[in-house]
């Protein structure tokens, strides 16, 4: 079953960013880009820029993950890797009787989400690491994670920690972009990049872990969860123009932004032209849409025997 939605993204805050250590980012994406270029940018170091690049799309996915999870109607809910806040805010909006706590390793993202929190009485954020949760056992009724698990250095350890702090009978869910196929915004970009620069293949996000069908499912089953179910969730990305699509890639966010920042003027011009060609746009000022898909998984913490 494919859950879909569409709609013009709104410019208010919220999103889930990646939960990762700086060393992990560089380890995954190590690539000799071009001579003389800085190879250690802050790929997810600017909350405002990340909002422009990916946050607007995460806001469309967040409420769908809440519904897919069948989030508890009351109690405490954990948002693992809360980033700029989109999932935490979607939970609070759909479940008015729950208390939501979002954790993220980035002090900047925590500050950003906290400063734009529309539910200050029911949503809070704090710096934290999914692999080492400082909460007592069975602290939360439900735990969710949006667009994060593929960036966690040890996802099995993180899932074990999330299971530990979730009550027996409670749901644990996660979703990750389908980077290799139906996340067309990034798939178009990387296909264009690889076609003109073979070195770009090392940065192509299709190599990300946990982004293919069955991978989250296997992780959840190995983590000892019951009633595990995986399915795709789709959204529609609406761009007002080619510039609306292209310019956020210049903000230095994520692997794609890192790659764009490494290019000289001629390569950047060639990449822009190839991306535009693959989008088959009649003109640069014409609105257009692209489909995007995540793989979502949910499971239940076993009851005590």
| Fold category of 3-300 in CATH | Rossmann fold (3.40.50)
pLDDT given for residue 213 in this prediction: 96
**pLDDT tier, 44 (very low <50, low <70, confident <90, very high otherwise):** low
pLDDT given for residue 20 in this prediction: 33
Backbone angles phi, psi at 127, to 5 degrees: -70, 135
The per-residue pLDDT of the chain, averaged, comes to 87
* Per-residue tokens: 183: 């996340």
Mean pLDDT of the region 138-157:
97
Residues 186-245: tens digit of each pLDDT: 999 999 999 999 999 999 999 999 999 999 999 999 999 999 999 999 999 999 999 999
Query: What is the C-alpha separation between 56 and 247, in angstroms, rounded?
Result: 14
Residues 59-102: tens digit of each pLDDT: 999 999 999 999 999 999 999 999 999 999 999 999 999 999 99
Percent of the chain surpassing pLDDT 70: 85
pLDDT given for residue 305 in this prediction: 75
pLDDT given for residue 69 in this prediction: 98
Query: What is the C-alpha separation between 35 and 222, in angstroms, rounded?
Result: 43
pLDDT given for residue 46 in this prediction: 83
Sequence-separated (6 or more) residues with CB below 8 Å from residue 16: 58, 62, 79, 81, 82, 83, 84, 86, 87, 145, 146, 147, 148
pLDDT at position 38 over 50? no
**pLDDT tier, 25 (very low <50, low <70, confident <90, very high otherwise):** very low
pLDDT at position 47 over 80? yes
User: Residue 210 burial (CB < 10 Å; 0-12/13-18/19+)?
Assistant: buried
pLDDT at position 145 over 70? yes
pLDDT given for residue 50 in this prediction: 85
pLDDT at position 22 over 60? no
Query: What is the C-alpha separation between 159 and 147, in angstroms, rounded?
Result: 14
Question: Do residues 58 and 177 make contact, with C-beta atoms less than 8 angstroms apart?
Answer: no
Residues 236-292: tens digit of each pLDDT: 999 999 999 999 999 998 889 999 999 999 999 999 999 999 999 999 999 999 999
Mean pLDDT of the region 112-128:
97
Beta-ladder partners of 237:
290
Question: Do residues 270 and 145 make contact, with C-beta atoms less than 8 angstroms apart?
Answer: no
Q: In what order do the strands lie in the sheet with 75-80?
A: 3-5, 226-239, 288-300, 171-177, 142-146, 75-80, 98-104, 123-127
pLDDT given for residue 254 in this prediction: 87
Identify which of 181, 154, 207 has the alpha carbon closest to the alpha carbon of residue 30. Answer: 207
**pLDDT tier, 42 (very low <50, low <70, confident <90, very high otherwise):** low
Mean pLDDT of the region 171-183:
96
Question: Do residues 157 and 185 make contact, with C-beta atoms less than 8 angstroms apart?
Answer: no
pLDDT at position 159 over 80? yes
pLDDT given for residue 23 in this prediction: 30
pLDDT given for residue 180 in this prediction: 93
Domain positions in the chain are 3-300
Q: In this structure, are strands 226-239 and 288-300 parallel, antiparallel, or unpaired?
A: antiparallel
């Amino acid at each position: 079953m494919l859950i879909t939605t569409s709609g013009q993204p709104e410019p208010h805050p919220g999103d889930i960013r990646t939960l990762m250590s700086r060393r992990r980012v560089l380890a995954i994406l190590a690539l000799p880009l071009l001579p003389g270029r800085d190879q250690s940018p802050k790929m997810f170091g600017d909350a405002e820029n990340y909002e422009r690049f990916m946050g607007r799309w995460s806001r469309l996915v967040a409420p769908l993950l809440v519904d897919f999870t069948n989030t508890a109607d009351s109690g405490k809910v954990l948002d693992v890797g809360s980033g700029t806040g989109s999932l935490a805010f979607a939970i609070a909006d759909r479940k008015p009787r729950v208390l939501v706590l979002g954790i993220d390793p980035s002090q900047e993202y925590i500050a950003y989400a906290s400063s734009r929190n529309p539910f200050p009485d029911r949503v809070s954020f704090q710096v934290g690491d999914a692999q080492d949760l400082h909460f007592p056992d069975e602290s939360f009724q439900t735990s969710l994670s949006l667009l994060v698990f593929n960036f966690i250095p040890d996802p099995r350890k993180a899932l074990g920690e999330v299971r530990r702090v979730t009550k027996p009978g409670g749901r644990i869910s996660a979703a990750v972009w389908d980077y290799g196929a139906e996340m067309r915004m990034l798939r178009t970009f990387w296909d264009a990049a690889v076609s003109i620069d073979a070195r770009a293949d090392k940065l192509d996000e299709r190599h990300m872990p946990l982004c293919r069908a069955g991978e989250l499912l296997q992780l959840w089953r190995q983590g000892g969860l019951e009633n595990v179910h995986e399915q795709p969730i789709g959204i529609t990305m609406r761009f007002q123009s080619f510039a609306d699509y292209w310019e956020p890639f210049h903000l230095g966010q994520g692997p794609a932004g890192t790659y764009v920042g490494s290019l000289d003027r001629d390569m950047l011009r060639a990449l822009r032209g190839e991306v535009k060609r693959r989008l088959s746009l009649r003109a640069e000022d014409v609105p257009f849409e692209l489909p995007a898909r995540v793989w979502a998984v949910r499971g239940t913490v076993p009851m005590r025997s």
